[in-house]
Structure 1
Amino acid sequence: MTTTKHTIAVIVNDQPGVLQRVSGLFGRRGFNIESITVGQSEEAGLSRMVIVTTGDGTTLEQVTKQLYKLIDVIKVNDISSNPMVARELALIKVSALPAKRPEIMGIVDTFRAAVVDIGTETLMVQAVGDTEKIDAMIELMQPYGIHELSRTGVTAMVRGNAK
Structure 2
Amino acid sequence: MEKQYILTVFSENKVGILNQITTVLTCRNVNIESLTTSESAVAGIHRFTIVVNTDPEKVEKMVRQIEKRVEVLKAFVHTPDEVVQQEIALYKVSRNRNVENLVREHHVRILEIGDDYIVLEKTGHTSETQALLELLRPYGVHQFARTGSVAIVKGKDYLLDECPGIAEFRKEQEASRKEQETK
Give the alignment's TM-score, normalised by structure 1.
Answer: 0.91
Tell me the C-alpha RMSD between the 2 structures. 1.4
2:116 partner amino acid? E
8 A contact 2:60–2:77 mirrored in 1: no
Residue of structure 2 equivalent to 1:24: 23
Larger radius of gyration: 2
Question: Which sections of structure 2, spanning at least 5 residues, go unmatched?
Answer: 159-183
Alignment correspondent of 2:111: 116
Per-residue deviation at 1:111? 1.8
Aligned to 1:92: 91
Relative to total residues, which structure has the larger strand share, 1 or 2?
1
Return closer, same or farther for 1:162/1:82 CA change in 2, 3 Å cut-off.
farther
Equivalent runs, 1:1-163 vs 2, <5 Å? 2-80=1-79, 83-96=82-95, 100=96, 102-163=97-158
For 2:80 and 2:140, the matched residues in 1 are separated by 38
Number of residue equivalences: 158
Structure having greater relative contact order (Cα 8 Å, sep ≥ 6): 1
CA distance in 1, matches of 2:49, 2:25: 13
| Inter-partner Cα distance in structure 1 for 2:105 and 2:155 | 28
Greater share of residues in helix:
2
| Residue 115 of structure 1, CA deviation | 0.8
Identity %: 29
TM-score (norm 2): 0.81
Question: Unaligned stretches of 5+ in structure 1?
Answer: none
Instruction: Provide the rounded CA distance (Å) in 1 between the counterparts of 2:11 and 2:105.
Output: 38
Q: Which amino acid aligns with 2:85?
A: A
